[in-house]
Structure formats: structure tokens, C-alpha cells
Homo-oligomer: A and B are copies of this chain.
Amino acid sequence: MSYNSFGHIFRVTTWGESHGPAIGCVVDGVPSRLTISEDEIQHFLDQRKPGQNRFMTQRQEADKVQILSGTFEGMTTGTPISLMIENTDQRSKDYGDIKDKYRPGHADFTYMEKYGIRDHRGGGRSSARETACRVAAGAIARKVLGLGIEVKAALVQIGEHEINRDNWDWDEVGNNPFWSPDKDMVPVWEKYLDDIRKKGSSIGAVIEVHAFGVPAGIGAPVYAKLDSDLAGAMMSINAVKGVEIGEGFNAARLTGEENADEMYMDEAGNPAIRTNHAGGILGGISSGKEIVCRFAVKPTSSILTPRKTVDRAGNETEIITKGRHDPCVGIRAVPIGEAMMACVLADHILLHRAQQG
């Protein structure tokens, strides 16, 4: 990963500020002759789009993607795909208060320390708006993965409320505004989040991303490990503070007997792995089991409760962030996590093909 790019072969570069004229990305290294359309990309962008229900920021962005290059007659040409999303609802006046005050828990202060200048309008480059580009790139990555590999994510925790894994049903994920795989959790989260929202507060969450159908052998030692790149990718999403593969931190509590997944010969006569504590990755390389990655999203610090801070002139002061924010940004991180998984996998599949044919 470098400043604003990630990936080795399937390489994504994003650009744009929250309240500039547009945001976008350039996706390079895409194999030719994949069918792709703006509608297919739009489908995934719409999942992330703000303003869809009361648990999301009410900022209204059409988030209409345009393909500016890299396709011809509906197919990729192997040249860089440039995607652009115009910013339509910028209302920068809403953000006047944060022009001079540093929002606690925000990047306002650190950007200022680093660059000596910042585009304060809506967080500028540090805005989660950048993640729309990841989702768009992820739609292209899925084309690289093809039909055999499926990437799906779900929300598994909001605040103290974790789902019951016995209830996990992927079909439920699209049936509720939270991407919950446990339908029993939906009314609990609904009530809980309504309360958070009314107080002008916010809360953290945990997202879990699965990839099905990834063949064994993808990834690479030692520093291009599949899990290493996934960790970097997920941690690069705004507000993420932790990443786990398989058992994750729980592995610290297990013995070798409990944790190591035994092998057997499957019905087709191929070596197979029974359990999946490893989350589908051994030694940085996919094992053929489902890949499982989780990440934790902190609560947004844009809240209505007054908080102590300082301003650029060096005065202590208080701040209330009035913008239109998400009570639980973790919800919108679900399609973003899927997109990052798709991008990392697409990249590693190409990288594997490079070395091993």
C-alpha cells in the first residue's frame, strides 16, 4: 500500500474529497474481456449509499458512477478503468463550525500536523466518502474473481449486542437494514440504535467477511501473505481499529489441540480440512476452506454531545458536530469490507498466476 493506492497487480488508486467536485478511482491491471457495466458497479454502490434509512447519515448523494476509460463495447480492455462519482449534495455550510476546531477522535488535528493545511469541508480526504471508490473497485474485483468465488459480509455486533451464531442465515442478511445474519437480533439492534440516534450519540460494531470458493494456494510468504494484505486492507478502512482472521484474538485462549484443524480425504479423494479455526489461511496461503475475516469499527466521533477540544488558534473550547452522521458507521462498512476482500483476493489470484501460472 502506498499513499493512495493498494494492490500489487490489481491496483486501485483513489482520489477526491468529501466536498470537492467529485471522487473517483483508477483500477489498473484488470484482465481484458471481462464484461462490466456502470449498472453492475452501481448495484454495489447503492448498498453503501447514505440516506437509505434512519440508521444512516441523511446526506443525500446520488452516488452515480461513470466509467471514463478502460472498457470498450461493454468489456474491459486491459487498460486502466477510471471511475468517477460526482459530489452532488455538498452543503458545505453545515461544516462551518469545524473549520477552526479540531473534532476529538477525528483526523482534523493529525492532518493539520502533517500537512499544515486541510480541506475541512466534510472531513475532506479523511471522509468516509472515499470508501465509495473502494466499493466501486470491489465490483470490478468481483468480475476478476468470476462466478466460482463469492464474497459476503454481515454485521455481527453493535455495541454490546452480538448475534447468536447458531441463528446465522446468509439469506437474512439482505432482509434488514443492518446486514444481520441473525433475524432475532434485528429488533434488538433497531431499538438500541434508535436510542443511540435520538441521543445524538454513536456506537461501534463488528463486521465479518467471508469468501467462498477460493482455491488452495492463493497468497504468498512472507510479506505478501494473504492475511497480511487482508489485515492492511481492512485496517485502511476509516474507523477500523482491529482485524482478525479465523479465531482471531480468541486463538490466544486455545491450545494447539483445540486450534489446529485436522485433515482428511474428502469424498472426491482430495485432501481436505475439517474445522476452520484458521479462517482459511495457513502460512499466508489459502487452504481451500472459507476465508473468514472480521474487523471492528469504532463509533463515529461526530456526535451531538459537547466535547472538549482546542482550536487552531490554541484556545481550549467545546465542539458539537452537527453534520448528518451515522449513529453506527459500522453498518455501511459491510459492503466496504466485502469490496476490500474482493480486491485483495482478485489481486492475489493474479499474483499467484504470475508466479505459478
| Contact between A256 and B202, CB atoms less than 8 A apart | yes
CB neighbors of B among A95-134 (8 A): 102-107, 109-111, 113-119, 124-126, 130
Partner of A355 from the list B69, B75, B259, B350 (CB cut-off 8 Å) is B350
Chain B residues contacting A274 (CB-CB under 8 Å) are 308
Q: Is A41 engaged at the interface, CB distance under 8 Å to the other chain?
A: no
Q: Is A147 engaged at the interface, CB distance under 8 Å to the other chain?
A: no
CB-nearest residue of chain B relative to A70?
Answer: B15
Given contacts A32-B115, A206-B252, 19 further A-B contacts (CB under 8 A): A13-B28, A15-B68, A21-B66, A32-B114, A77-B124, A102-B271, A105-B278, A109-B216, A109-B271, A113-B216, A202-B255, A227-B240, A231-B235, A232-B232, A254-B298, A256-B302, A258-B299, A259-B299, A263-B308
| Contact between A236 and B256, CB atoms less than 8 A apart | no
| Contact between B4 and A221, CB atoms less than 8 A apart | yes
Q: Is A180 engaged at the interface, CB distance under 8 Å to the other chain?
A: no
| Contact between B104 and A261, CB atoms less than 8 A apart | yes
User: In the complex, what distance in Å separates the CA atom of A139 from the CA atom of B201?
Assistant: 45
Q: Is A191 engaged at the interface, CB distance under 8 Å to the other chain?
A: no
Instruction: Give chain B nearest CB distance to A300 CB in angstroms.
Output: 6
User: In the complex, what distance in Å separates the CA atom of A233 from the CA atom of B271?
Assistant: 31
Chain B residues contacting A160 (CB-CB under 8 Å) are 253
CB neighbors of B among A1-56 (8 A): 1-6, 8-9, 11, 13-17, 20-24, 26, 28-33
Partner of A159 from the list B111, B252, B279 (CB cut-off 8 Å) is B252
Most buried by B among A1, A82, A222, A265: A222
Q: Is A228 engaged at the interface, CB distance under 8 Å to the other chain?
A: yes
How often does this chain occur in the complex, in copies? 4
| Contact between B262 and A82, CB atoms less than 8 A apart | no
| Contact between A243 and B254, CB atoms less than 8 A apart | no
Q: Mark A234-252, 1 if CB is under 8 A from B, else 0.
A: 1110101111111111111
| Contact between B78 and A355, CB atoms less than 8 A apart | yes
| Contact between A29 and B15, CB atoms less than 8 A apart | no
Instruction: Give chain B nearest CB distance to A98 CB in angstroms.
Output: 13
Chain B residues contacting A269 (CB-CB under 8 Å) are 314
Chain B residues contacting A32 (CB-CB under 8 Å) are 114-117, 355-356
User: In the complex, what distance in Å separates the CA atom of A5 from the CA atom of B240?
Assistant: 25
| Contact between B24 and A5, CB atoms less than 8 A apart | no
A–B pairs, 18, beta carbons within 8 Å: A3-B80, A4-B224, A5-B28, A24-B68, A69-B125, A75-B117, A77-B124, A109-B263, A110-B287, A158-B252, A203-B255, A206-B249, A223-B236, A228-B235, A229-B232, A260-B301, A263-B309, A274-B308
Most buried by B among A233, A244, A303: A244
CB-nearest residue of chain B relative to A2?
Answer: B224
| Contact between B118 and A77, CB atoms less than 8 A apart | yes
Chain B residues contacting A238 (CB-CB under 8 Å) are 283
Partner of A5 from the list B31, B205, B223, B246 (CB cut-off 8 Å) is B223
| Contact between B110 and A286, CB atoms less than 8 A apart | yes
User: In the complex, what distance in Å separates the CA atom of A82 from the CA atom of B247?
Assistant: 35
| Contact between A241 and B249, CB atoms less than 8 A apart | yes
Partner of A356 from the list B14, B114, B201, B247 (CB cut-off 8 Å) is B114
